[in-house]
Structure 1
Amino acid sequence: MNKKLICTAPLAIVAALGLYACGGNEVTKPDISSVKNIVVIYAENRSFDNLYGKFPGANGLQNVTAASAKQLDRDGSVMATLPPIWNGLTQTGVTPAVTQAMTANLPNSPFAIDDPNGFNVPFTQTTRDLWHRFYENQMQIDGGKNDKFAAWADSGGLVMGYYNLNADKLPLWKIAQQYTLADNFFMGAFGGSFLNHQWLVCACTPVYPNADTSPAAGSISAVNPDGVSLQVASNSPASAISGPPKFVKSGNLTPDFFAVNTMQPPYQPSGNKPASGGDTTLADPSNATTLPAQTQQNIGDLLNNAGVSWAWYGGAWGAALSAAQSGTSGVIYGANMSAPNFQPHHQPFNYFAGYAPGTTNRSTHLLDGGLAGSEFIKAIDAGTLPQVAFYKPQGNLNEHAGYTDVQSGDQHIADVIAHLQKSPQWNNMVVIVTYDENGGFWDHVAPPKGDRWGPGSRIPAIIVSPLAKKGFVDHTQYDTTSILRFITRRYALPTLPGLTARDKGLTANGNPSMGDLTNALDIVH
Structure 2
Amino acid sequence: MNKKLVCAVPLVATAAFGLYACGGDDNNQSSNDISSVKNVVVIYAENRSFDNLYGHFPGANGLQNVTAANSQQLDRDGSVLATLPKIWTGLTATGVTPAITEAMTANLPNAPFAIDDPKGFNTQLNVTTRDLYHRFYENQMQIDGGKNDKFAAWGDSGGLVMGHYDTPPDKLPLYKIAQQYTLADNFFMGAFGGSFLNHQWLICACTPVYPNADKSVASKSISAVNPDGASLQLAKAAGSALDGNTSGLFVNSGNLTPDFYAVNTMQPPYQPSGNKPVSGADQTLADPSQATTLPPQTQQHIGDLLNNAGVTWAWYGGSWGAALADRSVINGAVNVVPDFQTHHQPFNYFADLAPGTANRAQHLLDGGTNGSEFIKAIDAGTLPQVSFYKPQGNLNEHAGYTDVASGDQHIADLISHLQKSPQWKNMVVVVTYDENGGFWDHVAPPKGDRWGPGTRIPALIVSPYAKKGFVDHTQYDTTSILRFITKRFNLPSLPGLTARDSALVANGASKMGDLTNALDFSQ
User: Considering the TM-score relative to the shorter chain, is it more than 0.5?
Assistant: yes
What is the CA–CA distance in structure 2 between the aligned matches of 1:188 and 1:29, rounded to whole Å? Answer: 26
Q: Does 1:48 align with 2:50?
A: yes
Q: What's the offset of the Cα at 1:29?
A: 5.7
One-letter amino acid of the structure 2 residue matched with residue 48 of structure 1 = F
Partners of 1:275 and 1:336 lie apart in 2 by 28
* Percent identical: 81
Instruction: Kindly provide the CA deviation profile for residues 225-258 of structure 1, in whole angstroms up to 9, marking residues without a partner as x.
Output: 1100001121x65000000122110000000000
Larger Rg, first or second structure (1 or 2): 1
Residue 375 and residue 334 in structure 1: after superposition, are their counterparts in 2 closer, same or farther (change >3 A)?
closer
Q: Find the counterpart in structure 1 of residue 8 from structure 2.
A: none
SS in 1 for 2:338: coil
Q: TM-score, with normalisation over the residues of structure 1? A: 0.92
Which letter maps to 1:36? K
**For residue 321 of structure 2, what is the aligned residue in structure 1?**
318
Give me the whole-angstrom Cα distance separating, in 1, the residues matched to 2:80 and 2:281. 55
Measured after TM superposition, the shift of residue 170 of structure 1 is 0.4
Matched residue, 2:5: none
Moved over 2 A (4+): 91-96, 330-340
1:461 paired residue number? 459
Indicate conservation of the 8 Å contact 2:380/2:421, yes or no: yes
Aligned-partner Cα distance in 1 for 2:331–2:424: 38
**What is the aligned counterpart of 2:103 among 94, 98, 101?**
101
**What's the secondary structure of 1:375's corresponding residue?**
helix
Matched letter for residue 38 of structure 2? K
Aligned with 2:473 (options 450, 475, 489)? 475
Is 1:305 matched with 2:308?
yes
User: SS where residue 140 of structure 2 aligns?
Assistant: helix
CA distance in 2, matches of 1:140, 1:339: 33
**Are 1:221 and 2:219 counterparts?**
no
Deviations 1:87-115 (A, max 9, x none): 00013454332100000110000000001
How do 1:10-89 residues align onto structure 2 when only pairs under 5 Å count?
30-89=32-91
- The alpha-carbon deviation at position 167 of structure 1 amounts to 1.1
The corresponding residue for 2:280 is 277
3-state SS, counterpart of residue 84 of structure 2 = coil
Give the secondary-structure state (helix, strand or coil) at the position aligned to 2:35: helix
Report 1:139-150 matches (<5 A): 139-150=141-152
Distance 1:440 1:333 in 2: 19
Tell me if structure 1 keeps the 8 A contact 2:96–2:128: no
Alignment of structure 1 residues 229-248 onto 2, 5 Å:
229-234=231-236, 237-245=238-246, 246-248=249-251
Name the SS for the 2:123 alignment partner.
coil
Deviation of the 1:331 alpha carbon: 3.1
The one of 472, 490, 496 aligned to 1:498: 496
**How far apart are the structure 1 equivalents of 2:207 and 2:186?**
23
* 1:353-381 per-position Cα deviation (integer Å, ceiling 9, x unaligned): 00000000000000000000000000000
Alpha-carbon deviation of 1:452? Answer: 0.5
Q: Is the 8 A contact 2:36 2:426 kept in 1?
A: yes
Counterpart in 2 of 1:289?
A: 292
Superposed counterparts of 1:194-205, under 5 Å: 194-205=196-207
C-alpha deviation, 1:333, in angstroms: 6.5
Aligned partners of 1:322 and 1:31: how far apart in 2?
44
Contact 1:272 1:334 in 2 (8 A): no
User: What is the CA–CA distance in structure 1 between the aligned matches of 2:423 and 2:338, rounded to whole Å?
Assistant: 30
Say whether 1:420 aligns with 2:418. Answer: yes
| Contact kept? 1:171, 1:411, Cα under 8 Å | yes
Bigger mean CA deviation after superposition, 94-103 or 183-192: 94-103
Gaps of 5+ in 2: 1-29
CA contact (8 A) 2:331 2:341 kept: no
What's the CA shift for 1:339? 4.1
Please give the alpha-carbon distance, in whole angstroms, between the structure 2 residues aligned to 1:291 and 1:336: 26
Letter in 1 for 2:87: I
SS of the counterpart of 2:130?
coil
- Counterpart for residue 396 of structure 2: 398
Indicate conservation of the 8 Å contact 1:438/1:458, yes or no.
Answer: yes
CA deviations on 1:45-104 (whole Å, 9 max, x unpaired) are 000000000000000000011221100000000000000000000134543321000001
Q: Secondary structure at the match of 1:432?
A: strand
The residue that corresponds to 2:3 in the other structure is none
> Retained in 2: the 8 A contact 1:337–1:343?
no
TM superposition shift of 1:336:
7.5
* Greater alpha carbon shift after TM alignment, 455-464 vs 331-340: 331-340
Letter aligned with residue 61 of structure 1: L
Q: Check conservation: 2:335, 2:394, Cα contact below 8 A.
A: no
* Segment drifting more, 62-71 vs 192-201: 62-71
Change (3 A) 1:232 1:335: farther
User: Residue deviations 1:401-446, cap 9 Å, x none?
Assistant: 0000000000000000000000000000000000000000000000
CA contact (8 A) 2:334 2:402 kept: no
2:334, 2:400 within 8 Å by CA — same for their partners in 1?
Answer: no
CA contact (8 A) 2:268 2:293 kept: yes
**In structure 1, distance between residues paired with 2:202 and 2:190:** 7
What is the alpha-carbon distance in structure 1 between the residues aligned to residue 474 and residue 69 of structure 2?
Answer: 26
Contact 1:273/1:333, CA 8 A, preserved across alignment: no
Number of the residue aligned with 2:137: 135
Distance 1:333 1:480 in 2: 24
CA distance in 2, matches of 1:32, 1:190: 31
Count of matched residue positions in the alignment of Structure 1 and Structure 2: 492
Partner of 2:354: 356
For 2:519, give the aligned amino acid. L
CA distance in 2 between partners of 1:278 and 1:491 (Å)? 41
Provide the residue aligned with 2:6 in structure 1.
none
CA distance in 2, matches of 1:80, 1:375: 52
Contact conserved, 1:303 with 1:493, CA < 8 A, in 2?
yes
Distance 2:67 2:230 in 1: 27
Specify the code of the residue in structure 1 equivalent to 2:286.
Answer: A
Alignment gaps of 5+ in structure 1: 1-27
Distance 2:219 2:279 in 1: 22
The letter for the 1-side match of 2:289 is: S
Q: For residue 380 of structure 1, what is the aligned residue in structure 2?
A: 378
**Residue 278 of structure 1: how far off its partner (Å):** 1.4
Q: State yes or no: 1:254 paired with 2:257.
A: yes
Q: 1:187 aligns with which of 154, 174, 189?
A: 189
CA distance in 1, matches of 2:220, 2:276: 20
List per-residue Cα deviations over 1:97-147 (Å, max 9, x = no partner): 210000011000000000111111001100000000000000000000000
Q: Please say if residues 331 and 339 of structure 2, whose CA atoms lie closer than 8 Å, have aligned partners that are also in contact.
A: no
| SS at structure 2 position matched to 1:241 | helix
Name the residue aligned to 1:439: 437
For residues 8-65 of structure 1, give each alpha carbon's deviation from its aligned partner in whole angstroms, at most 9, with x where no partner exists. xxxxxxxxxxxxxxxxxxxx96310110000000000000000000000000000011
User: 1:470-512 CA distances to partner (integer Å, 9 max, x unpaired)?
Assistant: 0000000000000000000000000000000000000000000
- RCO (CA 8 Å, sep 6+): is it higher in 1 or 2? 2
**1:182 counterpart letter in structure 2:** A
Q: What's the secondary structure of 2:241's corresponding residue?
A: coil
Q: Secondary structure at the residue paired with 2:243?
A: coil
Aligned partners of 2:333 and 2:339 also within 8 Å: no
Letter in 2 for 1:305: N
